[in-house]
């Protein structure tokens, strides 16, 4: 099982996440297995470990579980193509985005290359990843991990697809 975090804070973020899930259903050798609820979160700068508010509109986030026959690098490439198709630009690190798709976990694999690191290196610092991941895969998130991000504001919005 592969787990992908979805996020957006430009344009119609909810529609962008819904369209991304529909696009993931069309990926080769891939099925959407489970979807978390939608969550709203403030943008955070957690790259340095400093949890300070970053500029920009609130994000809408979710996590999906995929069954896939694609390798982790091939899935990563497909996800990046979906971001580009959604108008994703990368003018600077942590820029607001039309769509962000992060490969969080790929089974129990551990990968570390110049292009891809799995598990995602910052996932344990982010409530917007851990809370929706715990919703659909409670065995992949511990109470301690959730406790470490409990101070980050996150609000459940409702179902990803209605």
Q: How confident is the model at residue 52 (pLDDT cuts 50, 70, 90)?
A: very low
Q: Residue 127: in which H helix or E strand, if any?
A: helix 127-136
Q: Is the pLDDT of residue 50 over 50?
A: no
Domains in the chain: boundaries: 2-159
Q: State if pTM tops 0.75.
A: yes
Annotated catalytic residue within 12, 47, 97, 122: 97
Query: Three-class SS of residue 23?
Result: helix
Annotated active-site residue 140? The verdict is no
The CATH superfamily assigned to 2-159 is 7,8-Dihydro-6-hydroxymethylpterin-pyrophosphokinase HPPK (3.30.70.560)
What is the number of other CB atoms lying within 10 angstroms of the CB of residue 47? Answer: 12
Annotated active-site residue 88? The verdict is yes
Annotated catalytic residue within 12, 25, 88, 140: 88
Annotated catalytic residue within 18, 100, 126, 140: 100
Quote the CA–CA distance of 109 and 82 in Å, as a whole number.
Answer: 23
- What is the percent of the chain with per-residue pLDDT over 90, rounded to a whole number? 78
What pLDDT, on the 0 to 100 scale, is given for residue 147? 98
Q: Can you tell me which residue has the tokens 């198709």?
A: 85
Structure confidence by residue, pLDDT tens digits, 106-119: 999 999 999 999 99
Which residues 6+ apart lie within 8 Å of 81 measured at CB? none
Annotated active-site residue 97? The verdict is yes
Structure confidence by residue, pLDDT tens digits, 67-97: 999 999 999 999 999 998 888 666 556 657 8
Compute the 3-state secondary structure of the chain and give helix, strand, coil in percent, each to the nearest 5: 30, 30, 40
Structure confidence by residue, pLDDT tens digits, 127-143: 999 999 999 999 999 99
Quote the CA–CA distance of 134 and 114 in Å, as a whole number.
Answer: 28
Annotated active-site residue 12? The verdict is no
Structure confidence by residue, pLDDT tens digits, 11-48: 999 999 999 999 999 999 999 999 999 999 988 765 54
Annotated catalytic residue within 102, 108, 115, 122: 102
- Which 8-state DSSP code applies to residue 58? P
- What is the percent of the chain with per-residue pLDDT over 70, rounded to a whole number? 87
What pLDDT, on the 0 to 100 scale, is given for residue 87? 80
């Amino acid at each position: 099982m592969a787990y992908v975090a979805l996020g957006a804070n430009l344009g119609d973020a909810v529609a962008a996440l819904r369209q991304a899930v529909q696009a993931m259903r069309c990926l080769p050798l891939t099925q959407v297995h489970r979807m978390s609820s939608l969550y709203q979160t403030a943008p955070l700068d957690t790259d340095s470990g400093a949890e300070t508010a970053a500029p920009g509109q609130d994000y809408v986030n979710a996590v999906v579980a995929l069954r896939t026959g694609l390798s982790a690098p091939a899935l990563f490439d497909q996800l990046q193509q979906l971001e580009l198709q959604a108008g994703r630009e990368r003018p600077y690190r942590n820029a607001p985005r039309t769509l962000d798709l992060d490969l969080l976990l790929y089974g129990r694999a551990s990968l570390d290359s110049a292009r891809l690191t799995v598990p995602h290196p910052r996932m344990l610092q982010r409530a917007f990843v851990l809370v929706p991941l715990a919703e659909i895969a409670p065995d992949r998130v511990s109470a301690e991990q959730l406790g470490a991000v409990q101070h980050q504001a996150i609000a459940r919005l409702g179902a990803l697809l209605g």
